[in-house]
Structure 1
Amino acid sequence: MSQQSTMPLQSTKPDAIPARVGVGLKPEHYDAILTERPDVGWFEVHAENYMGAGGPPHRYLTAIREQYPLSLHGVGLSIGAARPLDRDHLKRLKALNERYQPGLFSEHLAWSTHDSVFFSDLLPLPYDEESVRRVADHVDEVQDTVGRRMLLENPSTYVAFAESTIGEIEFLTEVATRTGCGLLLDVNNVHVSCTNQRWNAIDYLDRFPMQHVGEIHMAGYAPSKDDHGDPLLIDAHDRPADPVVVELYDHALSRCGPIPTLVEWDNDVPDWPTLFAEARRVESVLTRARRDEDAELAVAV
């Protein structure tokens, strides 16, 4: 690896994320990616994995960033927590955005901290006016600090809060309207939440504010059962996307058109050929949506 490839990318301009399929970047795949230069649209990394000052993670990420557009996805900001945002964490996010100039930057609608305790899960929050104000204030603070637009991801949920007075879609729409942030539509989360909460997934997608969506996530879930023997889905990220999730993805694309789409596989990470094959499978759906859109435009002309 050249000396140049280990330097920070302070002068690099953001590369727009193409409307193609990207892959979550894992250390297990660094060498294969740099050696093979696979035909992948872009890569996404979890911000918290690169908040150190240097070392091998940054050397590899810098080399890959020189060849591919990059998206930055945060999982530890705890944007829904009933406490102020961690200013040191925000500073690290800002520095990471400045260093790698990602084309997209996103976070979860969730909380993972309480007082000085940090939880390993992304926990849901009640959907009410107080939460809307708190999340909107936090999104404004993040965007002002980082100096760029953020996408907010719909969560995977397992139970509903009795205190909720607003639907999830209405909540996300209101936050996006108040702050100007975008939305990250996780289709696997849609299927997981709709199954667990007994919602209709097609209706959910038909009501989702696609005008705010800047990125889509695809992943696999683990099937289970609750205490009553009813289906319970876990957002596991440990396998390919289920066919029903692919069908929902196809339906989402019919509403929003081709949008940058990430294949997430964070647990039981497979070898690179297996992950690349999953990316190609999802890419085929995106390519078909692009052809359909082109055909519709041609007919309109």
Structure 2
Amino acid sequence: MNAVIKPAPAAAIAPRFPALPLGGLAGTSFKHEHLAAILAEGAQRGFFEVHAENYMGAGGPPHRALEAIRRDHPLSLHGVCMSIGGERPLDLAHLKRFKNLVERYEPALVSEHLAWSTHENTYFNDLLPLPYTVATLGRVCDHIDEVQEAICRPLLLENPSTYVAFRESTMSETDFIRAIVRRTGCGLLLDINNVFVSATNHGFAAREYLADFPLSHVGEIHLAGHAEQADDEGYPLLIDSHDGPVANAVWKLYEIVIAQCGPIPTLVEWDSNIPDWPILKAEAAAAQAILDRCHTIVEDRHAAA
């Protein structure tokens, strides 16, 4: 008689990678052109973030590179194609691939966007904005619940960069995000460059937006560069391009947030016009310096208490 071998409970399965600490660290987007330079430096302080959709194949060079990075560094897995805000049901095949990546690489953080990017069988290259209504809120929360149930962990939801607003919106973006957190228990990824881009494009104050943002639920911060243009009427128009260094105004907003919230893990995104590794590493080092100053201040306050 053949014995029946039951799979071990999830908690009993040994992790494939070390559970490296992430608190108070700055990181960068992982780009394959930087692999040799990163490996030559060996294990270093910081973490890397990758777009999930770049690793949804079964194997090959992309996975070998990511495995080499993950052995010595924490990982943040960032989805860009889930279409959380889409009207149609989530793509279950895509969600399964996303779940498999979470299980395969055991990332410290997992995130997606408050946006939509699909319509029927059409897939867009952009993360498109949503009307902030009760109906949209219900749909977004249902989708987040579905993702969180699949990956068995909280999802971090990223605030969008926007270029248009909807007349039918019945609540502010910050109220909408707050309601999502309350209903789903998800965390938040605060993209400070997105805040600055949207504030400039729509004519509101970025600091007021941040003052109304549910900062206590932020588990990761994004910083990135943007492109400066003008609209048809000559007003400033910023594009969330991720193709250059972080702007001074965004650094200032970041310092305000860190001073208020403490050293939250911070990722510098740079996705096009990719520079040599030392330049991207220097951007992360600038963020790390701010995080370290904050950590020192917090420790001094505790010592004096």
Normalising by structure 2, we get a TM-score of: 0.93
Residue 42 of structure 1 corresponds to 47
The Cα offsets for residues 127-178 of structure 1, whole Å up to 9 and x where unpaired, read as: 0111110000000000001111100000001111001011000111110110
Q: Please name the residue that 1:19 is paired with.
A: 24
Equivalent in the alignment of 2:222: 217
The alignment's C-alpha RMSD in Å is 1.3
User: How far apart, in 1, do the equivalents of 2:227 and 2:300 lie?
Assistant: 37
Q: Note the residue ranges of structure 2 that are not aligned, 5 or more in a row.
A: 1-13
Matches within 5 A, 1:17-96: 17-37=22-42, 39-96=44-101
Task: Work out which of the residue numbers 153, 170, 177 in structure 1 matches 2:182.
Answer: 177
Q: Say whether residues 1:227 and 2:261 are aligned partners.
A: no
1:109 paired residue number: 114
- Percent identity between matched residues is 56
Matched, 1:290 2:295: yes
**CA separation of 1:10 and 1:292: change in aligned 2, threshold 3 A:** closer
Q: Any idea what SS the aligned residue of 1:238 has? A: coil
**1:132 equivalent among 119, 123, 137:** 137
CA distance in 2, matches of 1:14, 1:208: 30
- How far apart in 1 are the matches of 2:102 and 2:22? 15
Q: Does 148-157 or 27-36 show the bigger shift?
A: 27-36
2:278 and 2:43 mapped to 1: Cα distance? 10
8 A Cα contact 1:125 1:131, kept in partner: yes
Number of corresponding residues: 292
Aligned to 1:118, the other structure's residue is in SS state: strand
Matched, 1:245 2:216: no
CA contact (8 A) 2:48 2:73 kept: yes
Give the letter for the 2:292 counterpart. T
Q: Which residue of 2 aligns with 1:3?
A: none
How far does the alpha carbon of each residue in 1:210-236 deviate from its partner, in whole angstroms, 9 at most, with x for none? 111000000001011111111111001
How far is the alpha carbon of 1:18 from its aligned partner?
A: 2.6
The residue aligned with 2:170 is 165
Please state how far the C-alpha of 1:10 moved relative to its aligned partner: 5.9
Which position in structure 1 is the counterpart of 2:283? 278
TM, length-normalised to structure 1: 0.94
Aligned mate of 1:142, from 147, 159, 166 = 147
Task: Supply the distance in 1 between the matched residues of 2:59 and 2:48 (Cα, whole angstroms).
Answer: 19
Structure 1: unaligned runs, 5 residues or longer: 1-8
- Mapped partners of 1:38, 1:67: distance in 2: 5
> C-alpha displacement at 1:36, in angstroms?
1.2
Query: Structure 1 residues 267-276 or 290-299, which shifts more?
Result: 290-299
The answer to whether the aligner puts 1:99 opposite 2:104 as a matched pair is: yes
Partner of 1:257: 262
CA shift, 1:92, in A, is: 0.2
Correspondence for 2:7? none
The change in CA–CA distance for 1:87 and 1:70 in structure 2 (over 3 A counts) is same
Shift of 1:39: 3.1
Q: Deviations over 1:64-111 (max 9, x none)?
A: 101101110000100000110000000001100000000000000000
Is this contact kept in 2: 1:17–1:71, CA < 8 A? Answer: no
Aligned match of 2:10: none
Rg (Cα) greater in structure? 2
